[in-house]
Amino acid sequence: MALIDLQKITKTYQSESVAVEALKGIDLRVEKGEFTMIMGSSGSGKSTLMNIIGCLDKATAGHYYLDGEEVAGFSRNRLADIRNETLGFVFQSFHLLPRTTALENVQLPLLYSRKDLSWKEIYRLAEEALERVSLKDRMKHTPNELSGGQKQRVAIARALVNKPNVLLADEPTGNLDTRTSLEVIELIQNLNENGLTILMVTHEPDIARYAKRTVRLRDGQIENDEYHDPLPASKALEELIHDKSETQNEEVVS
Ligand code: ADP
Ligand code: MG
């Protein structure tokens, strides 16, 4: 059974005068353990698709089965629990609370959780999540004291703290430079190697090479869907650092 099973999903945004058909019949199955990249140019429907998969928005028509159950039948409470615990979300602009430490940001989903956790447990789980993204030493910092890459790692820790089945990342590297992007992708690849199912959006063809599968959207439809051998981000990172130090050496010589 597929973890995510979308059948003939459509989404129409209706404003006063115009209707925008953002998704025009999407059929997509994602199995446990996949690392899928959703690609496509701006406006092709990537975020709309992610928001539906993430239960942040509802399809206009079609069926969405999450782990075998149709999402349309879920109560509001059930949906809230799923958003908080089954799915982890990461966005391009981090969506961290300002003036709130990394630790507190990561603790938030635990506070909303229905699990009856003690403060001690909440602290320990948040600390553990920050450790997974190598940020334990920055956990008392607020977002404005962190770099873009560090902010995204805090957001990833927050997404992971409730141990979700799926990580959904909508252009998580969109605000990051090449090296920092690769570091974030390296982290996402590690999470996937440890069994986490990943769905990530990008509009950059370069980035898609790091996933195991690429689904290309065009005008609200799947244009192409293929599996491929992923490039290890760690290797690309090493090469980048090596190239940089070579150029620096040349500069010193000349
Ligand atoms: P992408 O993430 O690939 O850039 P989106 O899913 O954001 O694409 O948008 C797909 C289409 O739906 C675009 O034409 C966009 O303008 C439209 N759209 C997205 N969100 C809304 C909304 N809330 N209301 C009306 N139209 C929207
Ligand atoms: Mg988008």
Mutate to test the pocket of ligand 1, among 20, 39, 93 (most ligand atoms within 8 A of CB): 20
User: Where residue 250 falls among pLDDT bands split at 50, 70, 90?
Assistant: low
Q: What are phi and psi of 188, to 5 degrees?
A: -65, -40
Instruction: Using the predicted structure, report yes or no on whether residue 35 has a pLDDT greater than 70.
Output: yes
Length in residues, the chain: 254
User: Within its chain, how far is the Cα of 68 from the centroid?
Assistant: 22
**Furthest-apart CA atoms within the chain: distance in Å:** 68
DSSP H or E stretch at residue 35: strand 35-39
Closest residue to atom 17 of ligand 1, CA basis: 22
Mutate to test the pocket of ligand 1, among 26, 47, 48, 92 (most ligand atoms within 8 A of CB): 48
Per-residue pLDDT, averaged over 25-49, amounts to 97
CATH number for domain 34-55+81-253, candidates 3.40.50.300, 3.40.50.970, 3.20.20.80, 3.50.50.60: 3.40.50.300
User: Where residue 251 falls among pLDDT bands split at 50, 70, 90?
Assistant: low
Q: Count other Cβ atoms within 10 Å, centred on residue 130.
A: 25
CA distance 77 to 149: 33
Tell me what percent of the residues of the chain surpass a pLDDT of 90: 89
- Domain range list for the chain: 34-55+81-253
Q: The tokens of 130 are what?
A: 């920050």
Angle between helices 102-112 and 148-160 (to 10 degrees): 20
Query: How many angstroms separate the alpha carbon of residue 225 from the centre of ligand 1?
Result: 21
Instruction: Using the predicted structure, report yes or no on whether residue 249 has a pLDDT greater than 90.
Output: no
Pick from 140, 138, 134, 175: nearest CA to 156: 134
Instruction: Using the predicted structure, report yes or no on whether residue 135 has a pLDDT greater than 70.
Output: yes
> What's the pLDDT score for residue 6?
98
Query: How many angstroms separate the alpha carbon of residue 47 from the centre of ligand 2?
Result: 4
Instruction: Using the predicted structure, report yes or no on whether residue 23 has a pLDDT greater than 90.
Output: yes
- The DSSP annotation for 156-195 comes to HHHHHTT--SEEEEESTTTTS-HHHHHHHHHHHHHHHHTT
pLDDT in tens, 215-246: 999 999 999 999 999 999 999 999 998 887 87
CB-ligand 1 contact for 46 (6 Å cutoff): yes
Lowest mean pLDDT among 9-13, 109-113, 213-217: 109-113
> What's the pLDDT score for residue 244?
79
Q: What is the mean pLDDT of the chain?
A: 94
CB-ligand 1 contact for 172 (6 Å cutoff): no
Q: The tokens of 121 are what?
A: 């447990």
